[in-house]
Structure 1
Amino acid sequence: MSMSVPESPSAPQELVVRLRAGVRERRAVRPRGPELPQVEDTFVPSGDRRVPVRRYRPGDGPRPLLVFLHGGGFVLGDLDTHDRTCRRIAQECDLDVVAVDYRLAPEHRYPAAVEDAAAVLRQVRPDAVAGDSAGGFLAAAACLALRAEGGPLPAVQALICPNTDLTLAHPSIAEKGTGYGLDADALAVFVEEFVPDPAERRAASPLHADDLSGLPAALIVTAEHDALRDEGGAYAHRLAQAGVPVRHRVEPGLVHGFIQGMDLTDPAAAAAHDRLFADLRELIPR
């Protein structure tokens, strides 16, 4: 999905409205994905509210549980946008998957989405947490929040093209921020809507946490032509320095968002999906 700001952009929130309309249109024609025996929409309690979730089960009997946090720049996405992705993970990896419909900006700014993600992890106690793009940010941030409170952590965090640094200061932002689908100007709008105060963005970023020790083993998959490539790599490096087991791979020739349906048209993306599924099958304890 291409995310770029028009040459004559309107107010940022009007841009978000238009992008959401485009997401709904694409969602309506996207293939459904594999049929599964059990798919159920339900809620997870979080204080005085309930977080909507969708649980996917590829069959009866016990199996590991993965919580999935969708991408969309903190302003886009829901349980339907990543439905096919979650169905495929459940089927290909023989996992129960719980997808989270966390609160979006600008209606609900930081840390609302992190609070929702952490609440679900706290309640369902998954074996793994995964997310793409903004969902990768939320997976990492939720793990940091749970570690800070001394609660149980997943065994694995799988971050796919993650946004880990809201300062957007890494070289790939400029190098790959035009013409590769996820544009730097759109990223700036998303971050502004999520954390309006620039002075707060560094402290909110997982990459700039003071201490990354004691976090779950990490699978970090980035893409060669992704504006977020370098900050994903930097997070992998910092985790490894802190003693966290890390598997990091840069997928050659691919762009941001390759996890979302690109396997249908691009053999390289399909092969990257297969590698991701193999990693999840290997790394998540059974």
Structure 2
Amino acid sequence: MGLFDFLQYLRLKFLISSLRLLVQLVAPLPAPKPDSVLRIPSRDQARTIKANVYSRQSGEVGNATGPRPILINFFGSGFALQYHGADEPFCRFIATKTNYVVLDVQYRVAPENPFPAAVNDAEDAVKYVLSHPDEYQISHVSLSGFSSGGTLALVSSTLFPLGTFQSLIGFYPSTSLAGDPAARKAPVPGRERPSFWTKVFREAYIRGKDARDPRISPVFAETTNFPQEMLIFTADHDVSATDMEALAERIKTEGHASGRNVVLRRMEDCDHGFDKNKKSENQMEAGREAYAQVAEFLNRLEEESE
């Protein structure tokens, strides 16, 4: 790392560390209470990837009747904030309302661990699941993610052979880190957030890499690589929505011959992160509706596969 790169890193480290501290002081994240904690082997020597496990049978990953279907979830972070555990209400809801075991994966964030660290962790988590058919139904593996975690879910789905994943669920994912974040517009304008932190997170994560790499921006991936079943939630006032909706239409159109089913739902009068906006009962209710739709979606897939 040259002097200029080092100084850039220090700047990003200071900005993001300051924001992390502020978030911790103003809106501390409650300690998650999973049924168990899994340590997944990493490709990096002497390192593991933490995953919180949520299961209908408390403390168990499998059960007496055999392997269970599994949902691998990735939290939202902007690829920079340490929000692992923020999706616990979703994970617990799905584990309660379906037969799925939910793994909530903690991936590394920038600037300490820029691209491809998060992608590598996501890929390693999937490989772990696929290598344990005694615990998980490897023909019933689904992905989910929120915000940047939704981006990771989209990316991860394209890193494995078609048919690896039963489905993908995305909440307000960003599909492209290319271009100027300030140029993005929400479907319903008027509540856009300042783009300063988006630019900081983007710079910290990609660190000079080509943002058109499909592992960074899944909008550049071959659309035929995405799973057959997809459920995507966007929001009226989210600048990420327009790109995601355009990608969803492409996936639906270009995958029509193979029977791809893409369900796209834009949440009315909602913002990015609507399901976690405790200041708005309207948005929290939208979140509850979305969670219920995910459970129905997964249960339908299980019924159809029987």
TM-score range, shorter chain: 0.7 to 0.9
Taking structure 1 as reference, are residues 129 and 272 closer, same or farther at Cα in structure 2, changes over 3 Å only?
closer
Structure 1 residue corresponding to 2:298, chosen from 268, 280, 284: 280
What secondary structure is seen at the aligned counterpart in 2 of 1:240? helix
- Secondary structure of the residue aligned to 1:201 is coil
157-166 or 61-70, larger mean C-alpha shift: 61-70
* CA apart distance, 1:27: 5.8
What is the match of residue 5 of structure 1? Answer: none
In 1: Cα distance, 2:299 partner to 2:166 partner: 13
Gaps of 5+ in 1: 1-9
Give the number of equivalent residue pairs: 268
Q: In the alignment, which residue of structure 2 is the partner of 1:252?
A: 268
Deviation at 1:177, TM superposition (A): 11
Query: 2:210 matched to which residue of 1?
Result: 200
Cα pair 2:97 2:295 within 8 Å, conserved? yes
Runs of at least 5 residues in structure 2 that lack an aligned partner in the other structure: 1-9, 131-137
Greater relative CO, 1 or 2 (CA 8 Å, sep 6+): 1
How far has the Cα of 1:29 moved from its partner?
Answer: 6.3
Tell me the TM-score normalised to structure 1 length.
Answer: 0.81
The residue type paired with residue 80 of structure 2 is V
- Shift of the 281–201 alpha-carbon distance from structure 1 to 2, 3 Å rule, reads same
- Is 1:138 matched up with 2:152? yes
**Any residues of structure 2 matched to 1:206-245 within 5 Å, and which?**
206-209=218-221, 211-216=222-227, 217-243=229-255, 244-245=260-261
Q: Give the partner amino acid of 2:247.
A: Y
User: Contact 1:70–1:77 (CA<8 Å) still a contact in 2?
Assistant: no
- Secondary structure at the counterpart of residue 86 of structure 2: coil
Aligned match of 2:134: none
Give 1:144 shift: 1.3
Q: Is residue 7 of structure 2 the alignment partner of residue 16 of structure 1?
A: no
2:109 match: secondary structure: coil
- From the superposition, tell whether residues 70 and 237 of structure 1 become closer, same or farther in structure 2 (CA, over 3 Å): same
The amino acid across from 2:148 in the alignment is: A
Q: Distance in 1 between matches of 2:29 and 2:154?
A: 31
Q: In 2 relative to 1, CA 137–11 (structure 1 residues): closer, same or farther, beyond 3 Å?
A: same
1:85-113 deviation digits (Å, cap 9, x = unpaired): 32222223342100111011111111110
CA contact (8 A) 2:49 2:106 kept: yes
Q: Secondary structure, in 3 states, of the residue corresponding to 2:226?
A: coil
**1:159 match:** 170
The CA deviation string for residues 98-143 of structure 1, in whole angstroms up to 9 with x for no partner, is 0111011111111110110011111113620100110011111111
**Are 1:50 and 2:66 counterparts?**
no
CA distance in 1, matches of 2:93, 2:277: 11
Q: Give me the whole-angstrom Cα distance separating, in 2, the residues matched to 1:86 and 1:182.
A: 28
Q: Which residue of 1 aligns with 2:143?
A: 129
Q: In structure 2, the residue corresponding to 1:157 is in which secondary structure?
A: strand
User: How far, CA to CA, are the matches of 2:27 and 2:70 in structure 1?
Assistant: 26
Give 1:176 deviation, angstroms: 7.1
Alpha-carbon distance in 2 for matches of 1:93, 1:263: 29
Task: Give distance in 1, aligned partners of 2:29 and 2:83.
Answer: 16
Q: TM-score, normalised by structure 2?
A: 0.76
Distance 1:256 1:283 in 2: 27
Per-residue deviation, 1:184: 2.4
User: Would you say the 8 A contact 1:171–1:230 is kept in 2?
Assistant: no
Contact 1:262–1:269 (8 Å) recurs in 2: no
The more displaced of 112-121 and 178-187 is 178-187
Q: Structure 2 vs 1, CA of residues 261 and 212 (structure 1 numbering), >3 Å: closer, same or farther?
A: same
Going from structure 1 to structure 2, the CA distance change for 1:205 and 1:179 (only over 3 Å counts) comes to same
Give the deviation of 1:223 after TM superposition.
0.7
Aligned to 1:3: none
Q: Does 2:291 align with 1:270?
A: no
Q: Is the 8 A contact 2:181 2:195 kept in 1?
A: no
